[in-house]
Amino acid sequence: MNWVGKDTTKKRESQEGLKNRGFQFWAKSGIFDERNTRNGASKASGWCPKPEAFFFYIGVALLQGRNERENRAGMAMKLREDIRNIAIIAHVDHGKTTLVDHMFRQTGTFRANQDVGTRVMDSNELERERGITILAKNTAVFYKSDGGSTVKINIVDTPGHSDFAGEVERTLKMVDGVLLLVDAAEGPLPGTKFVLKKSLELSLQPIVVINKIDRKDARPHEVLDEVFELFLSLGAKDHQLDFPSVYAIAKQGIAKRELDDPSASLKPLFESIVQKVPPPPGDVELPFQMLVTTIDYNDYLGRLGIGRVTRGTIRMGAPMKIIHRDGSVEDARVTKIYVFEGLKRVEVQEASAGDIIALAGMEDVDIGETIAEASDPTPLPFVSIEEPTLSMNFVVNNSPFAGQEGKYVTTRHLGERLAREIRSNVSLRVELTDSPDVFKVSGRGELHLAILIETMRREGYEFQVSRPEVIYKRIDDVLCEPMEHVIIDVPDEHVGVVIENLGQRKGEMKNMIQVQGNTRLEFIVPARGLLGFRSEFMTQTKGTGILHHNFHGYEPYKGDLMHRTRGALVVLEDCMAVPYAMWKLQERSTFFVEPGVRVYKGMIVGENSREYDMVINVCKTKHLTNMRASGSDEAVRLEPPHILTLEQAIEWIGDDEYVEVTPLSIRLRKRYLDHNERNRMSKKKAEIADI
């Protein structure tokens, strides 16, 4: 590891800690008696009096013998020296997709005169709009190493947001190493921590890339120390702790092993990948076997199963078996074989162990299932995916405007679309409810579900969604709720109001660090406490705060929380919003709609300044008269409305409200549109609560 200009005390301490952990193992087994340590000798040194020493060294010899056998077995296993399979792990906006862009350019994937945009891996429309990676994608580059051999580097571009960690967890099964990309100023953040833990559990070889070292507030050495401490806290193995480090400016396509090294390319990074990431193992002579980790669709070929060949060789037209997750076996035949080269899929006649491929001809294959040779249909284990923590109800639209803007509006359309989604989105759960028009959809977080809603909306679907609810669990007969690890960076002048707000949401502060006029706060907060927090946070910090959060775990229920301190403005009757009526109301409210918009009875058009709902008439017009009076000709001046985005609308609504989603509009409404019916239901709910 490159510890440039730094004291290696932490590294030595970590090694002592590893030795002490080894001592604790022997002590627990009764071989080493702590009370008999001779002359105060270090426990980690292994010195102890007879007869304990005899058994201690016997155990060490047995371990060494086992390791030698494993090494010999590894040497006997055939390796694909011409391939390296890696995944890129990074938090949102740490430069991951930009780095891949320059890897393409410097390996000749694009022609010299080819016009290629930035962030070419973000091919999804939503990804480009939001500037984040949502779906894991496969690509490959060819690099000619210093030794003269050409190595194919298969790259898996993974999402950086924790809500899409399900995409990462399954794709890690295809790779042998990971590039951990960390911002030189921000350091490792929650999204990094979660996915890194999964890769370490799979014994993948990490390479740490400290990116954006050209930032004015960059602190690469400190960040490298933080990364090392993160590895220790996650229980990394010895070979993982000895990770190689590379410093980079991804925007310029520059990487260097030491900060002072001259460099104008990513060659140090490519060499680290070739030298440090182990080649994929696998015997091409054994029967074919592959685990499907991603599903794609082609209009002409149908479903494509994507995964890494674990062993054997597959050829065009070969008969195969699909081993489903329920244990059933189905016959299939390969019609097309594709490998990845740059942004393209290239058709080949055969592929061998270590290759990442896409197979056509297997219409019923799903993620987590095994494709194997017909002569030896043996299934492969699938990585466990974390359970959902948040749920929402997807409801068929029954508003007065239902069916006017959407193409797919019925229960059948909604049910079929959700059933199709869970085949490729393994982190998602869909459950039927007592009502045939309501589907309970559970996901990893608010953004995870919001992306699904936005995708369906753009496809022409029209439906309603309820307020998100956290998924509770009973652990040892104790009611527990999901908690989030929150990291906030704010200017010093806004620290007080942020701490107060999170305190009201049952947040527990874990750390507070002040650096150059900014403060970093770390909290453990109930997941339900973060619903609606982001909009308040941005208002309180005047847009200067940065918020990151990640799933932390389940803890005992923290008690009741207040959701919303202000009521809603509810429309009295169907009409068109009139500027004159809105002008009279804007002094004590904030509107969500513009004048001239059609509204219906029970629709929410704004937020009241008080804590209760207010039924209003936005159709009221100015009375016409032939008498002139002072003030009668006063101009109507309206403040710009606060048009809510989909995420803001989902955060804002209460338990008795819906977000109506159509391809053209996002509306808020009450569950019960009639005012008298709402009063009856609220009284009934209060009576039940009193009982």
Q: Which residue has 């019916």 as its token pair? A: 677
Q: How confident is the model at residue 66 (pLDDT cuts 50, 70, 90)?
A: very low
Q: How confident is the model at residue 448 (pLDDT cuts 50, 70, 90)?
A: confident
Q: What are phi and psi of 461, to 5 degrees?
A: -85, 145
- Measured at the alpha carbon of residue 652, what is the angle toward residues 649 and 657, in degrees to the nearest 5? 85
Q: What would the pLDDT profile of 519-553 be if each residue is shown by its tens digit?
A: 889 999 999 888 878 878 888 888 888 888 878 88
Whether the CB-CB separation of 453 and 461 falls below 8 Å is answered with no
Q: For 568-623+634-690, CATH number?
A: 2.40.50.250
Q: What is the average per-residue pLDDT within 250-262? A: 89
Does a cis peptide bond (omega within 30 degrees of 0) precede residue 388? no
Residue 44 has pLDDT above 50, yes or no: no
Q: Which residues, 6+ apart, have CB-to-CB distance to 381 below 8 Å?
A: none
Q: What is the spatial distance between Cα 33 and Cα 49, in angstroms, rounded to a whole number? A: 9
Q: What would the pLDDT profile of 491-528 be if each residue is shown by its tens digit?
A: 889 899 999 999 989 999 998 988 778 888 999 999 98
Over 153-191, what HEC string results? EEEEECCCCHHHHHHHHHHHHHCCEEEEEEECCCCCCHH
What is the pLDDT, as a whole number, of residue 195?
77
User: Which tokens in the block code for residue 402?
Assistant: 């239902």
Bridge pairing between strands 336-341 and 575-576 = unpaired
Q: How does DSSP classify residue 399?
A: S
Burial of 600 (0-12, 13-18, 19+ CB in 10 A): middle
Share of the chain above pLDDT 70, in %: 81
Top pLDDT among 471 and 386 is at 471
Top pLDDT among 36 and 173 is at 173
Q: How confident is the model at residue 114 (pLDDT cuts 50, 70, 90)?
A: low
Candidate from 97-111, 275-289, 381-395, 625-639 with smallest mean pLDDT: 625-639
**What are the structural domain ranges in the chain?**
9-76, 83-276, 289-373, 473-556, 568-623+634-690
The total of other beta-carbon atoms located within 10 Å of residue 202's CB is 13
How far, rounded to the nearest angstrom, does the alpha carbon of residue 150 sit from its chain's CA centroid? 34
* Mean pLDDT (the chain, rounded): 80
Share of the chain above pLDDT 90, in %: 24
Q: What is the average per-residue pLDDT within 147-159? A: 83
Q: For 83-276, CATH number?
A: 3.40.50.300
User: Which tokens in the block code for residue 368?
Assistant: 């987590």
The total of other beta-carbon atoms located within 10 Å of residue 403's CB is 13
Quick one: residue 238, left, alpha or beta (phi over 0 = left, psi -120 to 50 = alpha)? Answer: alpha
Q: How does DSSP classify residue 213?
A: T
Q: What is the average per-residue pLDDT within 80-100? A: 82
Provide the strand spans (E) within 250-383: 254-256, 289-298, 302-311, 313-315, 319-323, 329-333, 336-341, 344-348, 350-352, 356-360, 370-373
Residue 438 has pLDDT above 90, yes or no: yes
Q: What would the pLDDT profile of 402-429 be if each residue is shown by its tens digit?
A: 989 989 999 999 999 999 888 778 788 9
What is the pLDDT, as a whole number, of residue 418?
93
What is the pLDDT, as a whole number, of residue 666?
93
What is the pLDDT, as a whole number, of residue 691?
64
Helix axes 220-233, 190-201, angle to 10 degrees: 50
Domain covering 289-373, topology: Elongation Factor Tu (Ef-tu); domain 3 (2.40.30)
Domain 473-556 has CATH 3.40.50.300: no
* Short-list 660, 230, 250, 225, CA closest to 461: 660
What is the pLDDT, as a whole number, of residue 665?
92
Whether the CB-CB separation of 136 and 156 falls below 8 Å is answered with yes
Residue 633 has pLDDT above 70, yes or no: no
User: Which tokens in the block code for residue 486?
Assistant: 């929150």
Q: Which residues, 6+ apart, have CB-to-CB distance to 633 below 8 Å?
A: none
Residue 186 has pLDDT above 90, yes or no: no
Top pLDDT among 217 and 25 is at 217
Q: What would the pLDDT profile of 323-340 be if each residue is shown by its tens digit?
A: 988 888 888 889 999 998
What is the pLDDT, as a whole number, of residue 110?
59
Top pLDDT among 382 and 98 is at 98
Q: How confident is the model at residue 79 (pLDDT cuts 50, 70, 90)?
A: confident
What is the pLDDT, as a whole number, of residue 569?
92
Bridge pairing between strands 150-157 and 83-90 = parallel
**Roughly how many angstroms between the first and final C-alpha of the chain, as a whole number?**
65
Residue 6 has pLDDT above 90, yes or no: no
User: Which tokens in the block code for residue 647?
Assistant: 């995420």
Whether the CB-CB separation of 208 and 231 falls below 8 Å is answered with no
Residue 268 has pLDDT above 70, yes or no: yes
Whether the CB-CB separation of 520 and 489 falls below 8 Å is answered with yes
What is the pLDDT, as a whole number, of residue 37?
37
